[in-house]
Amino acid sequence: MKKEFFKEVEIPEGVEVKKEDNLVIVKGPEGENKKKMNFGKLEVNVGKDKIKLGSKKATKKEKKMTNTLTAHLNNLIKGVQEKFEYELKICFGHFPFTVKIEGNQAIVKNFLGEKVERKVKLPQGAEVTIDKDIIKVTSSNKELAGQTAATLEKSTIVRGRDKRIFQDGIYITKKCGKEI
């Protein structure tokens, strides 16, 4: 059954939102976010203080689409107000290993006693800082910050050894302010 279904997203002061075809540009005090979105058959109206999206005859698919796009828009707006921060911890019990940042790469040395360095390519837009055994990843784009943290964690997966004994690695401890 088709019903009228609209959702509104508040635009706070100091944040500017533009929509050009399928590209949404959000500017704020912490930077700028761009995201290509497929609006499909949804109506999108960008005002000065609200974004209204939905449909007059919405099906289930269009309702799901509206809720998903609302969540993405909220994340874009939150990101330009305050950057998203992920925290990772370097843990080792057998072989002390080091992590350092060189340009757009993170280099992991001596992981599980390996002679060859592990190199991780870091995407542009994510800032990675290392303080002893804590790695902080910050970005105004939530997806970019999360993917960077996941890539760092994935780079130190233990293969070919008992995972119950060899628990060395880099592990995410905080996601956007939430402790894990």
Q: What is the pLDDT of residues 156-180, one digit of tens each?
A: 998 888 888 988 999 999 998 788 8
Q: What is the CATH number of the domain that holds 69?
A: 3.90.930.12
pTM score, whole prediction? 0.88
Number of domains, the chain:
2
What domain range includes position 42? 3-81
Angle at 13 between CA 30 and CA 50, to 5 degrees: 110
Q: Are residues 46 and 114 in the same domain?
A: no
Q: How would you label 40-52 residue by residue, b for 16+ Cβ within 10 Å and e otherwise? A: eebebebeeeebe
pLDDT in tens, 52-98: 999 999 999 999 999 999 999 999 999 999 999 999 999 998 889 99
Token pair belonging to 168: 């060395």
Instruction: State the Cα–Cα distance between residues 45 and 9, nearest whole angstrom.
Output: 11
CB contact at 8 A, 173 and 88: yes
pLDDT in tens, 49-64: 999 999 999 999 999 9
